[in-house]
Amino acid sequence: MNQSGEKIRHFLEEISSLNWEPPSRAKSLQKLHRQVTELVLDHIRYYSRQYQRNHRLSCLLRGLIISIGASGVLFPYWSSLLPNKWQQPHLGYFLVGLAGVFYLLDEVFAVTKNYTRFILVKLQLEDLLSRTSLKWQKLFALLDPPNISDKEVSDIFFLEEDLLEKVYSQILSETGQWESLLKRQLATIKERIGTLT
């Protein structure tokens, strides 16, 4: 979505060049639908990339937490199997502490929570696009291309407008959820730091 300004500018240029004279309405409606679909797909691709990135990072952090934490718990037992001069049972505490640091990083940066949020938004956007595309196909199939009325054009416009409104509403809602999660995380960190001092 770094290029979203470019995408929107391209979208506006494309729809401003549409011809709404009766013989050209069918082609213009098809082009409008393609442009709206591409705009929505761009947002879906963004959330898909974010989901994949955060999912990999979450799996890495969780794997480190489990493996290092388990090693820390088991280290005193393993250490007792070694000759006395090699025994270092206190390293187990260090490993458990290190696992705690990775857990804290996951909690502070909400990596695991982010990836679930991203996949949820991606699925909701895909659902909106799929449902709207089916409705569009149904409306378009009922049209008589050389004689498309103003009301039929208006109905399809409303469908496209409704899709974009719902997509951007969903994105704003997700951004608001992220903002409130970030504020809660920062407040929790401040509270924990305050109890340590």
> Per-domain residue ranges for the chain?
4-196
- Which of 7-11, 24-28, 110-114, 134-138 shows the lowest per-residue confidence on average (mean pLDDT)? 110-114
CA–CA separation, 129 and 36 (whole Å): 9
Quote the Cα angle for 138-144-149, to 5°.
95
pLDDT tens string 73-95:
998 888 878 777 767 778 888 99
**In the block, residue with structure tokens 């679909």:** 37
- Which of 1-10, 43-52, 87-96 shows the lowest per-residue confidence on average (mean pLDDT)? 1-10
pLDDT greater at residue 105 or residue 31: 31
**pLDDT surpassing 60 at residue 173:** yes
Q: Give the pLDDT of residue 197.
A: 62
**pLDDT surpassing 60 at residue 1:** no
Mean pLDDT of 44-62: 92
Mean pLDDT of 16-30: 90
Q: Give the pLDDT of residue 86.
A: 67
Query: Do 117 and 177 form a contact (C-beta atoms < 8 A)?
Result: yes
**pLDDT surpassing 90 at residue 109:** no
